[in-house]
Chain A
Amino acid sequence: MVVGDFATEVDVLVVGGGPGGYVAAIRAAQLGKKVTLVDKAELGGVCLNRGCIPSKALIHAADEVNKMKNASHMGIEVDGVKLDFPKTIQWKDQVVKKLTGGVGQLLKGNKVEVVQGEVYFSGENTVKVATEDNSTTYQFEHCILATGSRPTQIPSLPFDGEKIISSTEALNLQAVPEKLIVVGGGYIGLELGTAYAKLGAEVTILEGTDSLLPGTDPGMVRMVKRNLKKLGVDVVTNAMVQGADTSGNGVTVTAEVKGEEKTFSADKVLVSVGRTPNTDELGLEHAGIELDGRFVPTDKQMRTKNERIFAIGDIAGQPMLAHKASYEGKVAAEAIAGEPSEVDYRAMPYVIFSDPELAYTGLTEQEAKEQGYDVSVSRFSFAANGRALSLDAADGYFQVVADKETKQIIGAQIVGPEASSLISEVVLAIEMGANAEDIALTIHAHPSLPETFMEAAEGIVGNAIHMVNK
């Protein structure tokens, strides 16, 4: 630092106001630290502004439309469902605003100073924060990096924000496209593609590998594929996208499908092939931090090679999930305050808001076998659950994977209604080291969807009531 250069001193500088950053800032403040949080854009980060929350709002609206259109078998005839899409987007924006406002109030309530600006490292423990019209140097005792990720751009389909869009723009369209091509059949593309199909778009998904949701248990994906077909979504696998022509009215995408060149035309192309961690343009090299690929390597306390600096969330490695970022944020803040916290979880929940929803945690049967377990698997169908039937949502199953000898629960795969909520009880069971008998002996409310966990667990024990035991 230049002599005379005034630096603002802070205990903890948090870079990024997403689900990792703001949680870390609050926990650090709870533990008595003077915290400054810097974000270049808005509080809540990707999750609240351009990710989890807006996508779920849009999916919910699309589900409502879809239900209205498909309720005649329940005796509900809806004549001409009208969609005022700009209003739908406004409603979604209000949901986002409520939540980001809440984050701002929580930070304020915890006396966290919030600064808007861009961070660039100028040394081991100093950063420059550039705001619109000036630049301030901060000297920190500790720093928590939580800069998140952004949609990955592919060279053959560069984003133009109009015809070739990322998830960000796809969540802010002013009209439902007549035709939408989704490049990438991962969870983001699948969720948004399904939502727009329900809102009336003709959707084509182009996936490079041989299956939708690569990396997810194929048994779980089967039912999702069936519903996409019902919705009229065209899923093209083994499609290697070559490029796009945007010169005309719409956009034409060229792809090689099993060695054959094919063209697909649409109004818009949503490119959702993954997310890139925001580890560039930060000057991390000035702080002595080297990357592993694009991620920042950390230890169990989320500490980087520079022991003053911690990295959490999407920049710290897969899986890129908001709840993982928040968990890591708490660990980092506690470690800074001298607590012996470390990353120590047994089960990470994964949730995909497809139709039907998918959720899983722990090991699949295959993974458990690979890890040397003698495995016991039990699957209970939602078609045999009274609540699922009364919800007109009986597609899917709750599958439990257990150690055969101890009956300890080591994983679960759920396909079906509210899978995203149902997974939590399994995560708790794994964290507590519960076995199938513990779950089977726990009274579950009737009629309710969580009964399917109890029934599947009884299947492991061998005394299921509402299905025939193997």
Chain B
Amino acid sequence: TGKQVLAMPSIRKKARELGIDISQVAGSGPRGRITLEDLENFQAGGAKQEA
């Protein structure tokens, strides 16, 4: 499986519901954890993962 994005199961589910590819989201939480806010910011056009 390798290193994966850090996000709780409910956040991963929320990303799917919002149609967001979670691997593209930059996490603002501890150790890069993706939060609900990160998803919302991402949808608003911000906080993209650096390439």
Q: Which residues of chain A have a CB within 8 Å of any CB of chain B?
A: 339-342, 344-346, 371-373, 406, 408, 431-433, 435
Contact = CB atoms under 8 A, between A and B. Distances in A.
B4 A435 contact: no
A432 B8 contact: yes
Interface of B: 1-4, 6-9, 12-13, 16-17, 19, 31, 33
Nearest to A433: B6
Contact of B16 (A340, A371, A406, A433): A340
25 contacts: A339-B17, A340-B16, A340-B17, A341-B13, A341-B16, A342-B16, A344-B12, A344-B13, A344-B16, A345-B9, A346-B1, A346-B4, A371-B1, A372-B3, A406-B31, A408-B31, A431-B8, A431-B9, A432-B8, A433-B6, A433-B7, A433-B8, A433-B31, A433-B33, A435-B31
B14 to A, nearest CB: 10
Contacts of A339: 17
Contacts of A433: 6-8, 31, 33
Nearest to A346: B4
Contacts of B9: 344-345, 431-432
B31 A371 contact: no
Contacts of A431: 8-9
Nearest to B19: A340
Nearest to A428: B9
Contacts of B31: 406, 408, 433, 435
B9 to A, nearest CB: 5
Interface of B, helix, strand, loop or mixed by DSSP: loop
Given A431-B8, A433-B31, A372 B19 contact: no
B28 to A, nearest CB: 14
Contacts of B17: 339-340
B12 to A, nearest CB: 6
B44 to A, nearest CB: 20
Contacts of A371: 1-2
Nearest to A342: B16
Contacts of B6: 408, 433
Nearest to A405: B31
Given A371-B1, A373-B3, A433-B7, 11 more contacts: A339-B17, A340-B17, A344-B9, A344-B12, A344-B13, A344-B16, A372-B2, A372-B3, A408-B6, A408-B31, A431-B8
Nearest to B31: A406
A210 B8 CA distance: 40
Contacts of A372: 2-3
B37 to A, nearest CB: 16
A455 to B, nearest CB: 23
B16 to A, nearest CB: 4
Nearest to A406: B31
Contacts of B13: 341, 344
Q: Kindly list the 5 A-B residue pairs having the minimum CB-CB distance in the complex, ordered from nearest.
A: A340-B16, A433-B6, A431-B9, A432-B8, A406-B31
